[in-house]
């Protein structure tokens, strides 16, 4: 399978714990996005990377959220001191940006469903 993969698929944690999710994009894709989706809503953009550079992070929901893509391949999203309101599906997407003026569709992974008790 050469699609976007995410691990774990499900995570149950207690309030106050830290959690980390991993995303492996499609191999030739240089852009990687993180979104959050709550029940009955569309995905909400959080942050994105162009190769290893995080170019937009102002939409991260709070300073408890952070993301990395150290080698420009896989990425991790960490939530510190989780709260019940963090319960949601966390989605990763990737795309191939060939030039500044080009645009290619984003392909999504299966998501990680987080439940904070």
Q: With CB under 8 A as the contact rule, which of the stretches 13-21, 41-49, 64-72, 76-84 interacts with other proteins?
A: 41-49
35 lies in the binding site for other proteins (CB under 8 A): yes
Q: Which is nearer to other proteins, 20 or 50 (CB)?
A: 50
74 binds other proteins (CB under 8 A): no
Size of the site for other proteins (CB under 8 A): 30
Q: Which two tokens stand for residue 49?
A: 């990377």
> Is residue 36 within 8 Å of 19, Cβ to Cβ?
no
Under a CB-based contact definition with an 8 Å cutoff, are residues 26 and 19 in contact?
A: no
Q: Which is nearer to other proteins, 56 or 83 (CB)?
A: 56
Among 43, 60, 94, 116, binds other proteins (CB under 8 A): 43
CA triple 96-50-46, angle to 5 deg: 100
In the chain, the DSSP E strands lie at 5-7, 10-13, 19-24, 31-37, 44-50, 53-56, 65-68, 75-79, 88-95, 107-108, 112-116
Binding residues for other proteins, rule: CB under 8 A, are 4, 6, 31, 33, 35, 40-45, 48, 50, 55-56, 59, 91, 93, 95, 97, 100, 103, 105-111, 113
């Amino acid at each position: 399978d050469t699609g976007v993969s995410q691990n774990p698929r499900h995570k149950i944690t207690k309030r106050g714990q830290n959690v980390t999710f991993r995303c492996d994009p499609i191999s030739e894709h240089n852009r990687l996005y993180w979104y959050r989706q709550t029940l009955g809503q569309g995905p909400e953009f959080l942050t994105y990377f162009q190769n290893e550079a995080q170019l937009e992070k102002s939409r991260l929901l709070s300073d408890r959220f952070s993301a990395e893509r150290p080698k420009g391949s896989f990425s991790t999203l960490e939530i510190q001191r989780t709260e019940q309101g963090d319960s949601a599906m966390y989605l990763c997407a990737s795309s191939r940006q060939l030039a500044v003026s080009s645009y290619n569709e984003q392909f999504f992974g299966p998501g990680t469903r987080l439940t904070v008790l």
